Structure 1
Amino acid sequence: MWLNDMDDLSQYTQYLGQDLYVKIDRPKGSNHPRLDFIYETNYGFLPGTKAGDGHEIDVWVLEQETPLSEFNGTCVAVIVRKDDDENKLVVANRRLSKERILEETKFVEGYYDTEVILLPETD
C-alpha cells in the first residue's frame, strides 16, 4: 500500500507539461542542512503550493550545470515516493527518460521506493 493515494497524486500530476517558476533553496553543490550529503543537482520548491509535509511542493531541477537560485522550465515528470508522504516534481528544459531522472536524483531518491510518472507523449 502506498502512503500516497491516487487522489493525492493529482496534486502533483496537474503540473505535468506546465511551465513553472521554481525557487531554488538548495543549489547544486550545497550541503543538506541536516544530513551528510551534497546536492548533486539543483533542488527547490514551487512557491504558493502545499505538499504532504505542509511545506511547498519540492522540485528537482535537472540538466543544469551551474548552481541556481531560480529556474523557469517545464514539469516533465513526477517522482512518486511510495514509502513517504510527499512526491517531487521534475522540471527541465526538455523531456527526460525515467532512467535519466533516476540517475540524476539517485543520491536522494535512491533511498526511497519510487516510481516516475513522465509527461505523456503528444502526437
Structure 2
Amino acid sequence: MYQLNYGFIEGLFAGDGEEQDVYILSRKVENLVPLSSFEGVLYAIIHRLNDVEDKWGLTTDAEDFTSEEIAKATFFQEQYFTSKIELIN
C-alpha cells in the first residue's frame, strides 16, 4: 500500500515512455483515501539518479514542504533509488 496518493499526468510522458508519475504532497488530502483527480502545482522533482525517470511532487499552491519532509513521505518507494530532491519555487 502506498503511504500517500500517487498517480500520473495524463498525456505528459516521462523518461520511461509512460505518463509522468506524481506524488500528491498535500496535508489537505487524506493520503490513504484514493483520489480520482487532483489539481495542484509542481512543488518538487525527485531526480532518480539510477533510473530513467523522475517523480514529481504536486501540492496545492498554499503549502510548503522541506526536502526532508518529502524524502520521509516518499521513502516507502524511493528507498530503492538514489535520488536528489529539487524544490521548485
- CA distance in 1 between counterparts of 2:36 and 2:11 reads 17
Pairwise CA distance, 1:108: 0.2
SS at match of 2:41: strand
**Structure 2 residue aligned with 1:109:** 78
**Structure 2 residue aligned with 1:48:** 11
Pairwise CA distance, 1:110: 1.2
- CA distance in 2 between counterparts of 1:103 and 1:75 reads 18
- CA distance in 2 between counterparts of 1:102 and 1:57 reads 19
Runs of at least 4 residues of structure 1 off by over 6 A?
A: none
TM-score by length of 1: 0.64
Structure 1: give runs of 5+ residues left out of the alignment: 1-37
Pairwise CA distance, 1:69: 1.2
Pairwise CA distance, 1:95: 2.2
Matches within 5 A, 1:7-26: none
Indicate the structure whose relative CO is greater, using CA pairs within 8 Å and at least 6 residues apart: 2
- CA distance in 2 between counterparts of 1:85 and 1:96 reads 25
Aligned AA (1:56): E
Aligned AA (2:85): V
TM-score by length of 2: 0.87
SS at match of 1:53: coil
**Structure 1 residue aligned with 2:24:** 61
Structure 2: give runs of 5+ residues left out of the alignment: none
Larger Rg: 1
- CA distance in 1 between counterparts of 2:48 and 2:64 reads 21
Q: How many residues align?
A: 83
**Structure 2 residue aligned with 1:77:** 44
Computed over aligned residues only, the root mean square deviation of the Cα atoms, in angstroms, reads: 1.0
Pairwise CA distance, 1:67: 2.1
